[in-house]
């Protein structure tokens, strides 16, 4: 029940009814990530995301490396209840940004097939994605503006 309640508090899933949350939470796997672990790596990862990560505890940073790999721009700081990997699940492309654990983290992991099946069965999940997509676009705009 604790997992279902937590899932219902996550923006991506807040529109779901209790039974849908229970079905979804039964497919989650809890993963532990040490401080400094690079979960998504634009340099190494050449395949699309294998699932969605939902932060239960800890902090991660989302960064975009420079063309020369000598510097990085911090695009976002993710905390409890934030998700990442959703873009790769939808577009089927490799990650467009790096995600690194800034401290030890616990994340719920939802495999790609389970996420896509849930999205098909519950189109309201797409509504939960809109705020984070808007934030991503604004961050990208600001990043581009700094380059000009």
Q: Residues 133, 47: contact at Cβ < 8 Å?
A: no
Residue 77 three-state SS: strand
- Identify the structural domains of the chain with CATH numbers, from first to last: 2-147 (2.60.120.10)
Tell me the per-residue pLDDT of 82-131, one tens digit each, with 9 for 90 and over: 999 888 888 888 888 889 999 999 999 999 999 999 988 888 887 677 66
Average pLDDT over residues 76-82: 93
* Residue with the two structure tokens 């849930």: 118
Q: What is the pLDDT of residue 23?
A: 93
Nearest to 109 by CA among 54, 60, 147: 54
Given the structure tokens 């700094």, which residue do they identify? 146
pLDDT digits (tens, 9 = 90+) for 27-63: 999 999 999 998 877 667 777 788 999 999 999 999 8
Alpha helices in the chain (DSSP H): 2-9, 18-25, 86-91, 112-121, 124-147
The pLDDT of residue 64: 82
Q: How high is the pLDDT of residue 125?
A: 83
- Give the Cα separation of 83 and 97 in Å (integer): 14
Contact predicate 75/83, CB 8 Å: no
pLDDT at 69: 60
């Amino acid at each position: 029940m604790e997992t279902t309640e937590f899932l219902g508090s996550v923006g991506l899933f807040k529109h779901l009814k209790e039974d849908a949350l229970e079905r979804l939470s039964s497919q989650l796997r809890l993963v532990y990530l040490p401080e400094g672990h690079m979960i998504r790596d634009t340099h190494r990862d050449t395949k699309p995301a294998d699932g969605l990560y939902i932060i239960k505890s800890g902090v991660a940073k989302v960064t975009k490396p420079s063309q020369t790999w000598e510097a990085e721009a911090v695009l976002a700081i993710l905390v409890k209840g934030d998700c990442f990997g959703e873009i790769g699940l939808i577009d089927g492309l490799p990650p467009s940004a790096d995600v690194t654990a800034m401290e030890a983290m616990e994340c719920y992991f939802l495999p790609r097939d389970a996420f896509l099946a849930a999205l098909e069965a519950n189109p309201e999940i797409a509504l939960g994605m809109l705020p984070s997509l808007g934030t991503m676009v604004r961050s990208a705009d600001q990043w581009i503006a700094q380059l000009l």
